[in-house]
Amino acid sequence: MALPKVGSIGEYIREQRQQAKISLRQLAAAAGVSNPYLSQIERGLRKPSAEILNQIAKGLHISAQALYVQAGLIEDREPPSDVISAIRSDKHLSGRQRQVLIDIYESFRKEKRAEDEQTSQNAHPRHDSPQDDEPLPEDYLAALEPFAASNGNGTANQETKEG
């Protein structure tokens, strides 16, 4: 997994560099990295660390965030799950309970996503979550038992202001 998929970030850097009309060596100097390494990065032969990426962003006078997104390191935007944020901000739950709920919720989401992908394998171009396919551990279900018994409320009602 060292060569192919990282291409976009390298291309992006090269585009930005050429657009700024500076040579590879100049950018390398400005970014504080070696020229051969930058060359390899631009051609997708190497996967630069976040530090290097940050330096390059500075050398290019572009947003580091944009570069991270391009590199797939920030993905795009965190999944804006109201459920998770609601769980996390619920003062009536212990840390353990929070975690259990979140894990369960996520496993459900995961299942659903797997089903959807089976039925229709259309384009999800930036989707990059390789191995997260473990079923719900018994521990969690066991932890859930007393909880579900005492709490009959099944809806995760969001109280966030919705405009």
Partner DNA sequence: CCAAAGTGCTTGCAATTGCAAACGCGCTGG
Partner DNA sequence: CCAGCGCGTTTGCAATTGCAAGCACTTTGG
Residue numbers of the site for DNA (CB under 7 A)?
1-2, 23-26, 32-37, 39-40, 42-43, 46-49, 51-52
CA-to-CA distance for 100 and 87, rounded, in angstroms? 10
Q: Which does 2 bind (CB under 5 to 8 A by kind): DNA, its own copies, none?
A: DNA
List residues binding its own copies (CB under 8 A).
Answer: 19-22, 29-30, 32, 49-51, 53-54, 57-58, 61, 63-66, 68, 71, 73-75, 77-78, 80-81, 84-85, 88-89, 94-96, 98-99, 102-103, 130-134, 136, 139-140, 142-143, 145-146, 160
Least spacing, CB of residue 14 vs DNA, in Å: 8
Task: Provide CB contacts within 8 A for 86, sequence distance 6+.
Answer: 156, 158, 159, 160
Q: Are 60 and 20 in contact (CB under 8 A)?
A: yes
CA-to-CA distance for 53 and 49, rounded, in angstroms? 6
Q: In the chain, which ranges are continuous DSSP H helix?
A: 7-19, 24-31, 35-42, 50-60, 64-71, 82-88, 95-119, 138-150
Q: Which does 107 bind (CB under 5 to 8 A by kind): its own copies, DNA, none?
A: none
Q: Which is nearer to DNA, 61 or 92 (CB)?
A: 61
Q: Which does 91 bind (CB under 5 to 8 A by kind): its own copies, DNA, none?
A: none
Task: Provide CB contacts within 8 A for 65, sequence distance 6+.
Answer: 74
Least spacing, CB of residue 89 vs DNA, in Å: 24
The CA-CA-CA angle for residues 116, 118, 122, to 5°, reads: 75
Q: Which does 133 bind (CB under 5 to 8 A by kind): its own copies, DNA, none?
A: its own copies
Least spacing, CB of residue 143 vs DNA, in Å: 12
Q: Which is nearer to DNA, 7 or 36 (CB)?
A: 36
CA-to-CA distance for 34 and 20, rounded, in angstroms? 19
